[in-house]
Amino acid sequence: MKKLLTILGSVGLIATTSAAVIACGDKTQQKAPDKKDENKPAEEKKEEKTEETKKEEDKTQPDFSTIENKVLANFEPNENNIVEQSKIKKELVEKLKVKESELQSLEIDYEKKTGSVVIPKFSKKLDFKFTTIYDLGEIESENKNGTAVTSQLKIKEALAKKLKTETKNIQGLNVNYNNNTGTAYGPKSSNLLEFKFSVKNSSPKQS
């Protein structure tokens, strides 16, 4: 009887040990898929982050169509008929909404009034145009026989004031009264100057 109890005890111990082993095996099998599930969201998040980064880069890319082969702006020259490159670069920064340091290899042809600039960040080279027209503002007209006339002398005086010189130094004045524009030569540059003005009608004289 004692021997039988000992045998049964041994069988019970074996059964218990086997159950424990099976239980541990079940736990190991359950943990494996959990580890895969943890890795999967991390990979998906990485892909989502890449897509978001790409979208942000697309948003920050300037609208090159506003500059490329277009007239950038009118830059009124100084009294020496020179437009500083810093003014052109400032306009490019404002139009493209980029940092000044991102603009490289700025080239200006003042005779043809064209330019180009490279933006390495976007691997882009832009060509553009610009104008250099002096704005003389309002010039009062004279009333001659009921007709408003803007004298060339007043136009020359306004241009001389802009150039900080005397009227005698303004040569080859040519005025287009149809669109209130004109050209002339100044004392400090051999290049033809362009200008525009608006007409201020004078009040008729009281008799």
pLDDT tens column, 88-127 = 999 999 999 999 999 999 999 998 999 999 999 999 999 9
3-state helix, strand, coil in the chain (%, to 5): 45, 30, 25
Domain boundaries, the chain: 64-131, 133-200
pLDDT digits (tens, 9 = 90+) for 57-68: 555 788 999 999
Most confident range, picked from 34-48, 110-124, 138-152, 191-205:
110-124
Q: Nearest CA to 140 among 193, 197, 76, 206?
A: 197
Distance CA 108, CA 18 (A): 88
Q: What backbone phi and psi angles, to 5 degrees, belong to 34?
A: -60, -40
| Cβ-proximal residues to 173 (8 Å cutoff; 6+ apart), any chain | 152, 155, 156, 159, 182, 183, 184
Q: What backbone phi and psi angles, to 5 degrees, belong to 114?
A: -135, 165
Q: Are 62 and 98 in contact (CB under 8 A)?
A: yes
